[in-house]
Structure 1
Amino acid sequence: MRNSVQKNRLLCSVLSLIICTHVSFFFKFAISGDTITLNQFISDGQSLISSNGDFELGFFSPGNSQNRYLGIWYKKISTGTVVWVANRDHPITNKNATLKISEGNLVLSNQTQSINWVSNSSKPVQSNQNLVAQLLDSGNFVLKYQNNDNPDEYLWQSFDFPTDTLLPGMKLGWNLKTGLNRVLCSWKSAEDPSQGDFKYGIDNQGYPQLVMWKRNQYQYRSGSWNGFRFTGTPQLNENPVFEYTFVYKPKEAYYYTTWARNNSVVTELVVNNTGIVRRLTWNDRNKDWVLYTSLPLDICDTFNLCGAHGSCNMDNSPVCQCLEGFVPKAPGNWNSMDWSNGCERRSRLGCGEGEGFKRYAGVKLPDTREAWVSLTMGSRECEDMCLKNCSCSAYASANVVDGTGCLLWFGELLDVRKLIDKGQDLYVKMPASELDYPSRSKKRLILVAIGVLVFSTVLLVGLVLCICRMRRQKRKGQTRNGERKYGSEEDPEEVELPLYDFTTISAATNNFSLDNKLGEGGFGPVYKKLLG
C-alpha cells in the first residue's frame, strides 16, 4: 500500500514537472499583440491583432469546409469577413499547422513539417536576428527589420499579394522595375478560397487600363485613366469618403484608393466568384455590408460586344450601331443581332488630301492595348501626328483635366460605348468623301443664300434709284401753265426755274402797267400776268 502511494506521488511529480515544462514552453512562445519575432510562432488557435484592433491574423475554415487556412479578417466586424489568404491553393487538413520566421521568410508548415506556403521574399536578408512579422493597422501583414517602418524596405508584405479584396492603401497593378503584378483573383466558391475564374487588375500592354479577365480572356474593361477616372467608369465620382488615384510612371502603373477625410469608414473592393466587382462599405448600425458601386454596369460593359468600329448605347434598341462612316461587315448577322463581325469603313482611307476627323462626344475610349501615348503632347500636335500617319485611325486626349497628353489608335477600334454623361471625346479619322458631302451641301446653301441676299439688295437699290431719277426727270420736264422750260445753250445744265426774255415779260405785264401791279416786296414790284 505504501509503495502504491509512493508510486502515485512520484507519478504526480513527474506529471506536474511535464505540465510545468509545457506551460513554461507555451508562455515562452505565446503570442500577444501584433508581432512575432524569430523565436516565436503562431499555431492554430492563436492570432495576431493589429494595434487598432481592426484586423486579426490567424487560422480559419471558410463556411462548412474542414480545410484550414492562414488569413486576415476584420476583427471588429461581426461577420469576420476575410480579406487575405496565404495558402489559398494549398489548404491544411488538420489543426496542427504553425507559422514562423525562417531563413528570411515566413513559413507555414503542417505537423509533418511539410511546407504549405512560404513568403518567398525577393530581397536579401542582412540579419535574421532582427526580423519581425507584424500585422499593421491597415490590414497589411509585413516582414521587416525591427524598428524599421519604411515601406520601401519591407522584405515582404501581404499587400503585394492580394487575394480577392482591395483595401484602402493597397496598390492594384505593376511594379515595372521588378515585374511584380498585384492582381485580384476571385475565390472559387464561398467555401473554397483557391483561385477562381476571374481576375481584376491593370493590363500594361499599350496604354495601361483596368481590366477583368475570365480565364485569361477579356471579360470587361474599365478603360484607360483620363486624369479623373477610368473612361468606362462614369460612376467614379468625387466623394468625401475615399479618393481614387492612378499612378503611371516609367517604373510603375497602379491604381489605389485612400480615405479622403474620415478613415473610420470601412470600405473594400471585392471580386466575387461570378465576375462582379463590388465596392462595399460597412454599416455598423445594421451590422452589414452596403453596396456602393458594382461592375459591370450592364450588357454594354461586355467587352467588344458590338465588334470592331461598333458602338454600344443602352438608349438604343438594338444597343449596337456602327460608328458614323462605317457599315456592318456582315449585314445578315448584324440584322440578326449578332454583332461579333463588327463594322468596316464605307470609304477606305487613302492617306491623301482632304482627310479629317469626326468627333464622337461622351464615349468610353477604345481598347488601348495597341494604342500609343504621349503624356506631354498637346491636342493640336496630337491631331497633326494622327493626320500625317497613314496607319492612325483615331486620337483622343490622354488627360481631360488639363487637356494634355495624346492617345493614338492604329487599326480597329474595339469596345467603344456611348455614355449618358461623363464620357470623353474621340476623334476618328475619316476620308474626304465622308467629310466633304455634308460640307459641300452646307457651303452650297451658304453661297445660294448670300447670292440671293446680294441680288435682292442690288435689285432693291437699283429700283429705288430708278424711281428717284424718274421723279426728278418728271419734275424738271414740267412747265408752269404749259410753258416749256428754257435752258442755256452755253450751259446745258438744267435749272429748277424757267428763264424768260425781257420782251416776253413786258408783253405779259402790259409794259409793267400799274393796272397789273399786285404789290411791292423786298425784291421789287410784283405784276400779274396778262391772259391771252
Structure 2
Amino acid sequence: MWLTRPPPDLLPFLLGFFVLSGQIFAAVSLDKLEKGQNLTDGQTLVSSGLGSYTLGFFSPGKSTKRYLGIWFTVSNDTVYWVANRDRPIDGNSGVLLLNDGGSLVLLDGARRPVWSANFLASSAAVVQLLDTGNLVVRNGSSIAYLWQSFDQPTDTLLPDMRMGKILWNGDELYIQAWRSDDDPSPGDYRRVLTTEGLPELVLWRGGAKIYRTGPWNGKLFNGVPEAANYSNMYPLHVTISETERTYGYKAMPYAPLTRVVVNHTGFVERLVWDKSSRAWHQFFIGPGEPCDSYARCGPFGLCDPAAAAKSYCGCLTGFSVASPLEAALKNFTGGCRRNVALDCVAGAMTTDKFAVIRGVKLPDTLNASVDKVITMDECEQRCSANCSCVAYAAADINSTGCVIWTDDIVDVRYDPPGQDLYVRLAKAEFAETKPESKRSLTVPIFTPVAAVVIAFILIGFCAWAVWWRKKIRIVHIPEDPEMGVRSVNLATIKSITAKFSENRFIGEGGFSKVYKGESSDGRMFAVKRLKPSALTIEGKKYFAREVAVMAGLRHNNLLRLLAYCNEGDERILIYTYMENGSLNSHIFGTHCPILIQLKYIADT
C-alpha cells in the first residue's frame, strides 16, 4: 500500500493497472491511516496543508537503531516526537499498524509490540497527522481525539502543545531531553511547569534545579524579558483552571516554524526556522549567562550580570556575606545573613521597614504564599503583621496581587526591567531623614496684561514642542517596560563615569568613545558614547536600531546591553564590562602594522 505521493506521471499507469487486474483500488490519504492499514519502514505520512511535518521511521545520528518519529519536512534531521524512544527496533522491519480492533500499535520484525497508543479501541478509529504537527486518533469524523501525540511530548514543545498538570486525569506533561544525539531515550534534563506559588518553568537535572525562568507575571515569565521581542509572533499563555494548570504558546499565521527544545547538554532553546538560510536561528537560550544558574549566590544573595569582577555575587540590601572566607574562594552558596536582627514580636507593633530592590527576577516562589486579589498596600500590611515574612512583591506586571516569602529567598538576580522586591529590614538599617523645613510661599499677583503675555508664550511653546516631537519622532526610543533594557538619565551616567573623565577612557572607534563606569556599590560597566559627528539623522536611526536589536539578545558570548540614554544630544549605550583589554589586541597584538594602517585610513 502506497502512503507517499507517487510521481504524477505514474498515476494513470497505477490506476489502469489496478482496474485491469480486477483488483479494487482503495485510495489512501497522505496524512491518514484507517482500519487495517499500516505504515512500514521507508513509508511516510505527511501532514495536510503546507506539508510541514512528516511521520516515519528514522535512525538518529550515527545509530543504526530504528525509531518511529515525526520531524519537520524542511529539516528532516529535526525530530520533535518519538514513539518508541525506550525500545528501538533492529533493522528495517518495523510496522505501525491500525489493527482491525481499532488499536494503534508499533511492531518489530518478530511482530512483537514495542509501543502502543493508550486509548479505548474503536472500530471506526482513524489516525491522522494534522497540519499542527499533532498525530491524533479519532473516532471516524468526530472532532474529539481518542489520543494525541501532543499529550505525550518528548524533548520539544510546539505551538498549541502544553506543559503542566491535567487535573481531571492526574497527568503531568513535560519535555525531557534525549540521552544523546544518537539516543532519543529519556536523558538527564527535563523542563516542567511548577505551579506551587506562582507558575514558572524550571529546568531540572535529576533532582536538582538548574535554571528557572522566574514567575509568570500575567504576560511573560519575569526572568525572561527578551520574550517580549517575539511575543507578537509567538504569544505565551498560562492557564489556571479547575481542570488544568498549564503553559503553552501560539504561532501567529504569518510566523515561521518554531520549536522550544531541551537538549541533552542541559540548555533550553527557542529556535525559529529561517527560509532564506534554511537553518534554525536561536531566539532564546537558558541558562544563558552565569546569573541564570539556580541559587548561584545562595540565600538572600543577589546576582548581578554586570559584576564579573566580583564573581557576579553580592547581597541584598541589609545583608552581608555569611562566610567571607568561602566568598574569598568564590564560593557563594552559603549566601548572606542579616546585619541587624528584626524587631518583630507576634501580636505587638513592629518598627521594621521594607527596602525596595528594583528590576530583579523574583525569588523562587516554591514555598511562597500567593493572593491574587489584594492590593500592594494590603500586601505590605499583611507582611508587616507576620513576623515570619521576610519579603513581598506584586503577583503580576500590573502591580496587583501579593506574593509573600516566609523562608530564605533564593535565586534573585538583576534582570531589567524586572519587578520590585520589598525586603524586610530592621529600622536601624534606614538612615534617619529630617523633615523638610516649611517655607513661606509667595503668590505673585499678575496684572491682566502680564497674564495675556504669558498665555501667548505658553501657546507658542506648546506649538514648538509639537513641531519638535514630530521632527524627532523617527529617532525616538519609547519607554517600553517590555523592552528588556531601561532608559537612564544623563546625570546618572555622568556620575558613574566621573563626567566622562579621561581617567575612565577605554578606547574609541569611528563613531563612538567607550568609558569605564563604576557605580557606588562597585559594579562596573562599559559606557559607549556616540561622538557629536555621529549625531546625524542616520546616526540617530542607527542608535535606535542598535538598542532595539541588542535588547533582545542574550548569550554567553555576547556583551549584554543593560541600559541606554537618549537625552538631548546624547546617545549612550551601557553594556556589561569585560576586563583584560580589547579582542583586537589579543588577536593581533598592540603594535600590529595592519591595524595601525587601518586606523590611519579610518582617521583620514
Given the alignment, which residue of 159, 183, 201 partners 1:192?
A: 183
**Which of 198, 202, 221 is the matching residue for 1:207?**
198
Q: Which residue is 1:182 aligned to?
A: 173
Q: Is the 8 A contact 1:31 1:42 kept in 2?
A: no
**Alignment-derived partner of residue 433 in structure 1:** 428
Q: Equivalents in 2 of 1:397, 1:427: separation in Å?
A: 9
1:247-291 CA-partner distances (Å, limit 9, x unpaired)? 22343222212123514x111111111111111111112211112
Measured after TM superposition, the shift of residue 411 of structure 1 is 1.1
1:282-321 → structure 2 map (5 Å cutoff): 282-316=273-307, 317-318=309-310, 319-321=312-314
User: What is the one-letter code of the residue matched to 1:404?
Assistant: T
Measured in 2, the distance between the counterparts of 1:236 and 1:68 equals 37
The correspondence of residues 53-132 of structure 1 with structure 2, limited to 5 A, is 53-75=51-73, 77-102=74-99, 105-121=103-119, 124=120, 128-132=122-126
* 1:308, distance to aligned residue in structure 2 (A): 0.3
Name the amino acid aligned to 1:282: W
Residue 179 of structure 1, CA deviation: 2.0
- The one-character-per-residue Cα deviations of 1:468-493 (angstroms, maximum 9, x if unpaired) are xxxxxxxxxxxxxxxxxxxxxxxxxx
Q: 1:26 to 1:135 in 2, by over 3 A?
A: farther
Shift of 1:348: 2.3
In the superposition, the TM-score normalised over structure 1's length comes to: 0.73
Residue number in structure 1 paired with 2:401: 405
**Equivalent in the alignment of 2:354:** 357
One of 341, 349, 364 as aligned partner of 2:334: 341
1:226 aligns to 2:217 (yes or no): yes
Deviations 1:136-192 (A, max 9, x none): 00000011111112xxx3121111111111111111222133222221111111111
Answering whether residue 259 of structure 2 is matched by residue 268 of structure 1, we say yes
Q: Distance in 2 between matches of 1:296 and 1:26?
A: 58
Does the 8 Å CA contact 1:242/1:261 hold for their aligned counterparts? no
**SS of residue matched to 1:159:** helix
Query: Which residue is equivalent to 1:141?
Result: 135
Specify every segment of 5 or more residues in structure 1 that has no aligned partner in the other structure, as ranges. 1-19, 455-532
For the residue of structure 1 that corresponds to 2:379, the secondary structure is: helix
Instruction: Determine the C-alpha separation between the residues in 1 that align with 2:367 and 2:22.
Output: 64
Aligned to 1:458: none
Q: Return the offset for 1:403.
A: 2.4
State the SS of the aligned residue for 1:237: helix
- How far 1:408 moved relative to its partner? 1.0
Q: 2:233 aligns with which of 237, 241, 246?
A: 241
SS in 2 for 1:89: coil
Per the alignment, do residues 104 and 334 of structure 1 end up closer, same or farther by CA in structure 2, a change over 3 Å counting? farther
For 2:227 and 2:172, locate their aligned partners in 1 and report how far apart those are by CA, in whole Å: 23
For 2:29 and 2:336, the matched residues in 1 are separated by 64
Distance in 1 (CA, whole Å) between partners of 2:421 and 2:23 is 69
Q: TM-score, normalised by structure 2?
A: 0.65
Write the distance in 2 (CA, Å) between the matches of 1:79 and 1:33: 17
Task: Using the TM superposition, give the Cα deviation of residue 355 of structure 1 relative to its aligned residue in structure 2, in angstroms.
Answer: 1.4
Distance 1:59 1:327 in 2: 58
Distance 2:341 2:206 in 1: 36
- Whole-angstrom distance in 2 between the partners of 1:104 and 1:385: 58
Q: Write the mapping of 1:142-181 to structure 2, written as runs, cut at 5 A.
A: 142-149=136-143, 153-181=144-172
Deviation at residue 434 of structure 1 after TM alignment: 2.2
User: What are the superposed Cα offsets for residues 426-460 of structure 1, whole Å, 9 maximum, x if unpaired?
Assistant: 1111222223xx0x2x12xx47x67xx99xxxxxx
Task: Say if 1:91 and 1:178 are closer, same or farther in 2 by CA, change over 3 A.
Answer: same
Q: How much has 1:233 moved relative to structure 2?
A: 0.8
Would you say the 8 A contact 1:204–1:253 is kept in 2?
yes
Equivalent residue, structure 1, for 2:547:
none
CA shift in 2, pair 1:24/1:405, >3 Å: farther
Taking the aligned partners of 1:147 and 1:65, their CA distance within structure 2 comes to 39
1:46 to 43, 47, 55: 43
Contact 2:344 2:351 in 1 (8 A): no
State the Cα distance separating 1:368 from its structure 2 match: 0.9
1:238 to partner: Cα distance:
4.4
The residue that corresponds to 1:524 in the other structure is none
User: How big is the shift at 1:113?
Assistant: 2.3
Corresponding residue SS for 1:383:
helix
CA distance in 1, matches of 2:317, 2:148: 50
**Alpha carbons 1:70, 1:85 under 8 Å: kept:** yes
Q: Which stretch shifts more, 110-119 or 343-352?
A: 343-352
Alpha-carbon shift at residue 395 of structure 1 (Å): 0.9
Q: Deviations over 1:52-90 (max 9, x none)?
A: 211111111112211100000112x04442111111111
Of residues 411, 414, 419, the one that matches 1:424 is: 419
Structure 1 217/26 Cα, relative in aligned 2: closer, same or farther at 3 Å?
Answer: farther
Identical aligned pairs, as a percentage? 39
Distance 1:104 1:25, change over 3 A: same
Give the match's secondary structure for 1:129: coil
Say how many residue pairs are matched.
Answer: 413
Confirm or deny: 8 A CA contact 2:163 2:247 kept in the other structure: yes
> C-alpha distance in 2, partners of 1:49/1:25?
26
